[in-house]
Structure 1
Amino acid sequence: MLLRRPVPSFLQLSAHPLRWQLLVMLSASDYRVRELVKMVGESQNLISYHLRLLRDGGLVTATRSSFDGRDSYYHLDLERCTELLAGAGNALHPALRLDPAPSPFHPTGRVEVLFVCGGNSARSVIAETLLLRHTDDRVDAASAGTSPKPDMHPDAARVLREEFGIDISGRRPRHLDSLADRRFDTVITLCDKAREACPEFGDDTRRIHWSIPDPAAGGSDEDTYPAFRATAAEIDTRIRYLLPILTTARERREQ
């Protein structure tokens, strides 16, 4: 008698052509529904319906925009995709079990990356520092703010020191205008408001958005550290999945 096995959830969700297109779009950047509508060329109702299915399946999450509270950004959970994809392979045959490994980072030339948030006192500095850590300083990483704060947030320095062993004492926030003459392969905004204010850096620059809430919002300095730990962990995960994208961005620019 034929033993019927359920189709793994990842395959059920990703096999639909439209949902696959949404996954592809969200694999590199966070987007709003209206942006996905324009990119995919389908109705908003249809896009929203399939996004809901992806959310219910645990592949996609949504965060309220800090720029416009009536809007939301959608984010693909690549860690969850990795787990489900590995499970799907193992369900077909034990030999297809996938053991996720860090993606190799072997760019053909120097990669220049800019991280942008509002104050350049937390999220963008954490991202810049962790990218340098993951690439052994083989990138030219920078960060700046559209409205920089006077000083670094103390919990940003603390989380990098305690969780990653990195000392950023002496760092000061800087304004985005100070980098106007530089060219970057990739510009990544980590703040919804900063995304709206960030200028273009040329047609060859790849733009990516990470909709990450400000860990310093809604609390005093004494009780924001847990939020900073969660934010740093999320940024660290995103950085690991960013590395192959940086390599392809550099190769595309050199063609």
Structure 2
Amino acid sequence: MNILFLCTGNSCRSQMAEAWGKRLWPEIGFYSAGVERHGLNPHAVAVMGEVGVDMAGHKSKMVDDLPDVAFDYIVTLCGHAAENCPFFAGGGTRVHRGFDDPPSLAAAMSNEEKQLDVYRRVRDEIREMVAGIPGSLED
């Protein structure tokens, strides 16, 4: 089974989902990409590191950067990606599982610890969704 997590910039949510997938389900192929390239978010890397998930080797990718893989599921994690999800020749079931955008919410926080708390909450919500795969991807 191969699963692609897709969000706008492949900087935070899709990266965390890919990292959780590789940690929790090593027998499944997990990938992430964005419809744009925003670079890897350092706060996402930091909060994943807090729970022992290393994202040091990750980089922001666009769909065109992915290897030629047939995806069983294409999971959009934000509304923009769901609306702009590219066509995949191999098909795959498209599923939307929206999560808050940590950088947007954190910008309104008064200090770095509160900002990181937003990332931690979304990290944990994504982990819960990924831990339930494949059932969490069924409508």
The TM-score range, normalised by the shorter chain, is 0.7 to 0.9
- Cα distance in 2, alignment partners of residues 190 and 166 from structure 1: 20
Q: Which amino acid aligns with 2:41?
A: H
- Match in the other structure for 2:14: 124
The DSSP-based 3-state class of the residue aligned with 1:147 is coil
Mean Cα deviation higher: 169-178 or 182-191: 169-178
**What are the superposed Cα offsets for residues 29-82 of structure 1, whole Å, 9 maximum, x if unpaired?**
xxxxxxxxxxxxxxxxxxxxxxxxxxxxxxxxxxxxxxxxxxxxxxxxxxxxxx
What secondary structure is seen at the aligned counterpart in 2 of 1:167?
coil
Aligned mate of 1:201, from 70, 82, 88:
88
Q: Does 1:144 align with 2:25?
A: no
The reply to whether residue 210 of structure 1 matches residue 91 of structure 2 is: no
1:154 to 38, 42, 46: 42
- 1 or 2 for the larger relative contact order (CA 8 Å, sep ≥6)? 2
Are the structure 2 counterparts of residues 239 and 161 from structure 1 closer, same or farther at C-alpha, using a change threshold of 3 Å?
same
Which structure would you say has the larger Rg?
Answer: 1
CA distance in structure 2 between the aligned counterparts of 1:200 and 1:180, rounded to whole angstroms: 15
For these two proteins, the number of residue pairs brought into alignment is: 134
Q: 1:191 aligns with which of 65, 71, 78?
A: 78
| Runs of 4+ off more than 6 Å | none
Q: 1:112 to 1:228 in 2, by over 3 A?
A: same
Partner-residue secondary structure (3-state), 1:237? helix
Distance 1:179 1:173 in 2: 11
Matches within 5 A, 1:66-145: 111-135=1-25, 137-145=26-34
Q: More helix by proportion, 1 or 2?
A: 1
Report the AA paired with residue 131 of structure 2.
R
In structure 1, distance between residues paired with 2:43 and 2:136: 29
> Normalising by structure 2, what TM-score?
0.86
Matched-pair identity in %: 32
| Distance verdict in 2 for CA 1:204–1:172, change over 3 Å | closer
CA distance in 2, matches of 1:144, 1:127: 11
Taking structure 1 as the reference length, the TM-score comes to: 0.48
Give how far 1:179 is off: 2.8
Change (3 A) 1:143 1:155: same
CA deviations on 1:118-142 (whole Å, 9 max, x unpaired) are: 111100010011111111x111110
The gaps in structure 1 that reach 5 residues or longer are: 1-110, 249-255
1:148 CA displacement: 1.2
Q: Give the distance between the partners of 1:153 and 1:180, measured in 2 at CA.
A: 23
Matches within 5 A, 1:34-49: none
| Aligned mates of 2:85, 2:36 — CA distance in 1 | 11
Structure 2 SS opposite 1:168: coil
Partner residue, 1:227: 118
Give, as a single letter, the amino acid of the residue that structure 1 aligns with 2:34.
Answer: G
What RMSD in Å do the two structures reach over aligned CA positions?
2.2
CA-to-partner distance for each residue in 1:196-253, whole Å, 9 max, x for gaps?
A: 111132474111101112111041783421110000111111112223467x9xxxxx
